[in-house]
Amino acid sequence: MKKTVFTGSAVAIITPMYPDGSVNYEELNRLVDFQIENGTDAIVACGTTGESATLGDEEHVSVIKAVVDRANGRVPVIAGAGSNDTAYAVWLSREASDLGADALLHVSPYYNKTSQTGLVRHFNAIADATDLPVILYNVPSRTGVNILPETYKELAKHPNIVATKEANGNISAVAQTAALCGEELTIYSGNDDQIVPLLALGGKGVISVLANVAPKQTHQICQLFFEGKTAESTALQLKMLPLINALFSDVNPIPVKEAMNMMGFAAGSCRLPLDSLSESNYLKLAAQMKAAGLMK
């Protein structure tokens, strides 16, 4: 059986920014401490929520280094290193490995896309590049590419490909993947509104946007389930659903950064082309943050 990178809730941490758009590393350190102090089980740096798409090469590497250094071994740090250019993904993976990341997160190639055989070659080339465990990321709504269960079965043969963050929203496909791969591939939910369903299919946790604002609750959804308290876990999942929906009222991470600002963190704004939250969605988000007891 392959080693599990983490069990429970991993936060897809935001990248806080100053008003001029530069990275606010001081606030990033504060956010890492906040997450660890509130029960988060792992931290993903430079994922979609961390605005990896608009970070320059030096910034991307620097953000990973900052999170690794601040976490200082307290929880695993998973470095987002995905790209639609295999050679670049290999380079970034090696950089993350040199910086001390514990694992890599690799999204399927976007825009230029690829076939299922292309996915196998792409991810195997990445997995060959370092000794780090690789977590795949399937989010067809953003990439236009869906990793099929049969493709997961082939990819799971690589010793370094250990898990997937599954965000295709198709529970039946997740069940098929679990049946085909068994213990060779850990499954994490990539959708905050589907944590319990994926845990019920044998999943080991979630890579979460919600955890940015509610790390204790997101960890608890998982922990309660693992303790056999499935009714309590489900109840908490459903209790958080209105907030989850508000956090996805616009393109991620627009709402979650605004929510962090509401909590008193200096999250700043997103870089263009991501725009600010509309007034109506801001009011909906503020209402749910207040209802959850999270608004400062």
Within the chain, residue ranges assigned H as helices are 25-37, 57-71, 86-99, 116-129, 140-143, 149-155, 171-181, 195-200, 215-226, 230-247, 254-262, 279-291
pLDDT at 83: 97
Token digits of residue 170: 């198709």
pLDDT at 121: 98
Q: Is the pLDDT of residue 1 over 90?
A: no
pLDDT category of residue 2 using cuts at 50, 70 and 90: confident
In the chain, what percentage of residues exceed pLDDT 70?
99
pLDDT at 296: 65
Per-residue pLDDT tens for 146-170? 999 999 999 999 999 999 999 999 9
pLDDT at 3: 87
Per-residue pLDDT tens for 41-90? 999 999 999 999 999 999 999 999 999 999 999 999 999 999 999 999 99
d(CA 160, CA 68): 20
pLDDT at 52: 97
Domain positions in the chain are 8-226
Structurally, at CATH architecture level, domain 8-226 sits in: Alpha-Beta Barrel (3.20)
Q: Is the pLDDT of residue 293 over 80?
A: yes
pLDDT at 86: 98
Task: Enumerate the active-site residues.
Answer: 137, 165
pLDDT at 231: 98
d(CA 43, CA 57): 20
Q: Is the pLDDT of residue 290 over 80?
A: yes
Per-residue pLDDT tens for 187-208? 999 999 999 999 999 999 999 9
d(CA 6, CA 28): 21
Q: Is the pLDDT of residue 295 over 90?
A: no
Pairing, β 103-107 against β 186-189: unpaired
